Amino acid sequence: MFQHGSLTLFRVRGVPIRAHWTLLLILPYLALVLSLQFPWVAELAGVEGEQLGLPPFLWGAILAAGLFASVTLHELAHTFVALHYGGRVQSITLMIMGGVSQVVRMPRGAYHEAIMAIAGPATSLALGGALYAGFSVSGGTPVDLQMGLFYLAAMNLTLGVFNLLPAFPMDGGRILRALLAASIGRARATAIAAAVGKAFAVGFGLLGLMGPNFLLLLVAAFIYSGAQAEAAAERMRSSLAGLHVSDLLPTHHAAVPEIAANASLQDALDRMRELDRLELLVLDALDHPIAVIDARELTVISRRSLPTTVGELVRQLPIRHTIVEAHATASEALEQAAEAGATYLLVVDRQSDRPHEIIALIAADDLAKSVTLRMLETRLSEAHAA
What residues does CATH 3.10.580.10 cover in the chain? 245-385
End-to-end CA distance of the chain: give it in Å, rounded.
Answer: 51
Average pLDDT for residues 212-232, to the nearest whole number?
Answer: 84
171-184 and 186-210 helices, crossing angle to 10° = 150
Of 235, 223, 92, 112, the residue nearest 170 (C-alpha): 223
Nearest-angstrom CA–CA distance, 249 and 351: 17
- Structure confidence at residue 121 (pLDDT): 93
The pairing of strands 258-260 and 98-105 is unpaired
Is CATH 3.40.640.10 the classification given to domain 245-385? no
Q: Cα 169 to chain center, whole Å?
A: 12
pLDDT of residue 206: 92
Contact 75, 53 (CB under 8 A): no
Across the range 105-129, mean pLDDT stands at 87
Q: Where are the beta strands (DSSP E) in 80-180?
A: 88-95, 98-105
212: preceding bond cis by omega (within 30 degrees): yes
pLDDT at 109 over 90: no
Question: Pairing relation of β-strands 344-348 and 321-325?
Answer: parallel
Compare 176 and 213 and report the one with higher pLDDT: 176
Q: How confident is the model at residue 307 (pLDDT cuts 50, 70, 90)?
A: low
Is the link from the previous residue into 55 a cis peptide, with omega within 30 of 0? Answer: no
Looking at the predicted structure, is the pLDDT value of residue 304 above 50? no
Counting beta carbons within 10 angstroms of the beta carbon of residue 360, is it exposed (0 to 12), middle (13 to 18) or buried (19 or more)? buried
Q: What percent of the chain has pLDDT over 90?
A: 12
Alpha carbon distance 298, 296 (integer Å): 5
Q: Are strands 2-3 and 98-105 parallel, antiparallel or unpaired?
A: unpaired
Q: Tell whether the model's pLDDT for residue 302 goes beyond 60.
A: no
pLDDT tens, residue by residue, 26-39: 778 778 877 777 77
What proportion of the chain, given as a percentage, has pLDDT over 70? 92
